[in-house]
Amino acid sequence: MKSKALAVLLLTLFFSAASWTQEKTQDRRKFLDPKTQVSDDPRRVVVKAGPRGPEGALVLRGGRIFDGTGAPAREGTLVIERNRIAKLLPANASDWPKDAKIIDVSGKTILPGLIDLHTHLTYPLTEEDFGVAMNDSDATLRGVEKLRYFIESGVTSVRDVGSKGDVPFRLKAWVAENRIPGPRVFPAGAFITSEGGHSTENAPDELIGLMGATRLASGPDDWRQAVREQFHKGADVIKLGSHFSAEEIKAAVAEAHELGLKVTVDSETFYIQRAVEAGADTIEHPLPRSEETIQLMAKKGVAADPTLIPYQIIFEEWGGYFGSTSRRFTFSKEANLEMLKRLRKGGIKCGIGTDLILHWYRYMPGPYIRELKNFVDAGWSVPEALVAATRTNAEILDMDDRLGTLQPGKLADVLVVDGRPDENLDDLAKVDLVIRDGFPVVVGGRVAIPRHTAEKSWKSASAPTEMK
């Protein structure tokens, strides 16, 4: 009797400890009053309170609104104040601030800015040129160029899941300060993997270190340390890649969660099972996995970023994916589409990511639209695919309280396209206006940079942010 009571007590303690552990992860926000102003990223660092974004109000009227919530598109007017969506009005209303700037978007559709969950902003354009790959200045300029392709394609947020050194963090800051045109950048920093792991197959270790986009780790303590290094640099998410031992991935995921960051994992076959068991939040790519793993993903609410498009480009341009030790399985367009169908059938939350390595960003917006069409081929309706690109992607980014839908109070990341993309995805290519954080960054389909504003006098001139 006594031992039974003890067993019950121990079990109770065990389960409450388990739920406590689960609850503990990512619960930092419980300590933040919603009135406390924090950074607009998953880090939620407390910042000085005050208005943000450009002064004044912006009204988009005469168009249709696809708000990203899953509701059908409807006629309406969108009112933006500073960097926030203030309200959505019926088409015949004119209840907006008197001094608002009014933009007529008749015949066009207003939707939330698109999100890309898988970019590498600093990756070089060719695989062979190690000199360029190792050069920080060139890496920065490549990133600036890529940001332009993305924003002009209607993408207002990118998750960077592996880039060189400090570059993605500097790009994030410069975009946030509206000093260069581009989407918001949510960087992972370096991609963490083991010696011989994915992304390290074709280069010697010394070169991988110099290229700076991959952090080799060995053993649970070092995997934990590698996560801390990315957090220290400013990571918004942690990106891990197989191969790893169960202990290594457990340590890395636990550390990331305690720091308040989500974890996404590039893995295959049983490594996916291992990552899901360890508590990973998202699995990248359409790589093989068992039915048991899909069921566990569903049970634990693990999302997928299936990225069929980069492999389609690989199969079409190279004739196959050859020579990779992290892709040692039968790999084809058909198998990847089948995997996406299985994920949908299994009830897995799926988002849109393009993983455009090399020069492929120059194909934009084509690859992004094609990834949406892959979703349609796998069973999504066109509006559902657009919801995946906006609301679902914001959820996977851990930013759904601020991004992904057009609702009052959310950040003003808005896309206006000519046509009806919720009926015909190809209309997404007809980008007219892109607003990021309240700033019209793309006007008439191209980046619009206003003339600089000269400071009035030497004395009143304010120092650039990094000099303050």
CB of 85 to Zn ion, least distance (A): 31
- Residue entry with tokens 């924003």: 151
- Kindly state the tokens that stand for 59: 């009204």
d(CA 137, CA 33): 41
Name which of 76 and 241 has its Cβ closer to Zn ion: 241
CB of 237 to Zn ion, least distance (A): 13
- Kindly state the tokens that stand for 147: 């940001």
Sign of CA dihedral 227, 229, 232, 233: negative
CB of 355 to Zn ion, least distance (A): 4
Name which of 304 and 416 has its Cβ closer to Zn ion: 304
Name which of 152 and 355 has its Cβ closer to Zn ion: 355
Which residues, other chains included, contact 33 with Cβ-Cβ below 8 Å and sequence gap of 6+? none
The residue with its CB nearest to Zn ion is: 355
- Kindly state the tokens that stand for 125: 């354009």
d(CA 164, CA 140): 9
CB of 97 to Zn ion, least distance (A): 43
d(CA 98, CA 15): 58
Per-residue CA distances from 181 to 9, 52, 83, 156, 334 (Å)? 59, 17, 16, 10, 38
CB of 239 to Zn ion, least distance (A): 8
Name which of 162 and 440 has its Cβ closer to Zn ion: 162
CB of 161 to Zn ion, least distance (A): 6
- Strands of 184-187's sheet in order across: 114-119, 155-160, 184-187
- Kindly state the tokens that stand for 327: 């892709």
For Zn ion, the binding residues (CB under 5 A) are 355
d(CA 313, CA 306): 14
Name which of 305 and 413 has its Cβ closer to Zn ion: 305
CB of 120 to Zn ion, least distance (A): 6
| Backbone dihedral angles phi then psi of residue 329, each to the nearest 5 degrees | -160, 165
DSSP strand pairing (414-418 vs 108-112): antiparallel
Name which of 355 and 371 has its Cβ closer to Zn ion: 355
Name which of 165 and 346 has its Cβ closer to Zn ion: 165
Segment (H or E) for 316: helix 308-318
| Spatial contact of 368 and 354, defined as CB atoms under 8 Å apart | yes
Helix (H/G/I), strand (E/B), else coil: 214: strand
In this structure, the number of other CB atoms found within 10 A of the CB of residue 183 comes to 29
Which residues, other chains included, contact 397 with Cβ-Cβ below 8 Å and sequence gap of 6+? 42, 115, 117, 157, 159, 186, 237, 403, 404
CB of 307 to Zn ion, least distance (A): 8
Name which of 266 and 422 has its Cβ closer to Zn ion: 266
In this structure, the number of other CB atoms found within 10 A of the CB of residue 48 comes to 5
- Strands of 191-193's sheet in order across: 214-216, 191-193, 237-241, 262-266, 282-284, 303-305
Name which of 61 and 327 has its Cβ closer to Zn ion: 327
Name which of 67 and 116 has its Cβ closer to Zn ion: 116
Name which of 156 and 193 has its Cβ closer to Zn ion: 193
Helix (H/G/I), strand (E/B), else coil: 25: coil
CB of 311 to Zn ion, least distance (A): 11
CB of 464 to Zn ion, least distance (A): 33
CB of 270 to Zn ion, least distance (A): 21
